[in-house]
Amino acid sequence: MSKSAALLLILVLLTASSVFMFLPVKAGTMADNLTINVVSPLQKQVYYSSDLLLSFYVTKPSSWSEVFSGYSGGILYDWVGFIHFAGYNLDGKESENVTVDDHQGGLTIGPKPAKVFDFSFNLTELSEGLHNVTVSVFGSYKEDTFVYSRSVIFFVDTVPLELKIVSPENRVYNVSGLPLNFTVDEPVSQISYSLDGQTNVTIIGNITLESLPYGEHNVTVYATDNVGNIGSKTVFFTIMEPSKPFPTTLVVASAIIVAVVGIGLLFYFKKRKH
């Protein structure tokens, strides 16, 4: 799934990501307090690897055990709820379920017991972007069967954000206004820039740097991608005062003076010949 597609799904998925889903065959008959805790990956966490360990544990509550009658040596408990299988669904693709060793014996003399099961699966070759993993346990409680699940959203970002400043370039300019043009290679959630180390200014795209004073400058552009990674690029440039035009009026005046002097000398030499 691409990062742009991930943004479109995130609002819907986040709503359901922290909710336990109960799917009993007969509503209202399944015991409360069965819990699933996902250790890895964590909710809304960014991971910089395409291979992760899916780890979670399931706690079968003490309410799933009842007093076993007919025993006079103390209080004896017997389980009435059991976990049979566990598995996961990654981005809509089901895994193979693993069998859980939760035998139906296990009579226990007080205190009232609880039971914890640990599970782990390798998630490999994860694509870039948003992922949704749902872990599930399948079991029975008294005469009913059930599926109990929990979902986690996480992100994979193995390709760094690449940002390039097209303009200004590292050279000298003789204008006071320059376009700040840049490109990024993936969707971003925020863009800002800093001119000469000043406070960052948030922008939505290319702009013009206006009224730049003469001298040396630097500008840094920052871009944040959709999973929170920040890329930046800095360029140095110089603004010089435009060259002043050569004074043409002085040239014209000098030419007139030269012409007048030339005419005077010509008239003088002609007079001496006579």
Q: What are phi and psi of 64, to 5 degrees?
A: -85, 5
**Segment 28-32 mean pLDDT:** 51
**Count of alpha carbons within 13 angstroms of residue 122, beta-carbon side:** 3
Tokens of 249: 């009026």
In one letter, which amino acid is 131? H
Residue 26's pLDDT is 36
Q: What is the pLDDT of residues 137-163, one digit of tens each?
A: 999 988 888 899 999 999 998 877 899
Tokens of 64: 């799933």
- Residues 204 and 225: their CA atoms lie apart, in Å, by 13
In one letter, which amino acid is 256? I
Q: Which residues contact 119 (CB under 8 A, 6 or more apart)?
A: 55, 56, 57, 58, 86, 98, 135
Q: Which of 29-38, 123-132, 172-181 has the lowest mean pLDDT?
A: 29-38
Collapsed DSSP state (helix, strand, coil) of residue 16? helix
Q: Strand order of the sheet with strand 163-167?
A: 163-167, 178-184, 207-209
Which residues partner with 36 through β-bridges? 58
Query: Which H or E run includes 32?
Result: none
Q: What is the pLDDT of residues 91-123, one digit of tens each?
A: 999 999 999 988 755 566 767 778 899 999 999
Who has greater pLDDT, 136 or 157?
136
Other Cβ atoms closer than 10 A to 247: 9
Q: What are phi and psi of 39, to 5 degrees?
A: -85, -40
Who has greater pLDDT, 3 or 108?
108
Tokens 């209202």 — which residue? 28
The domains found in the chain, sorted by start residue, are 3-156 (2.60.40.10), 163-239 (2.60.40.10)
Q: Are 114 and 61 in contact (CB under 8 A)?
A: yes
Q: What is the pLDDT of residues 59-79, one digit of tens each?
A: 998 888 888 776 666 677 888
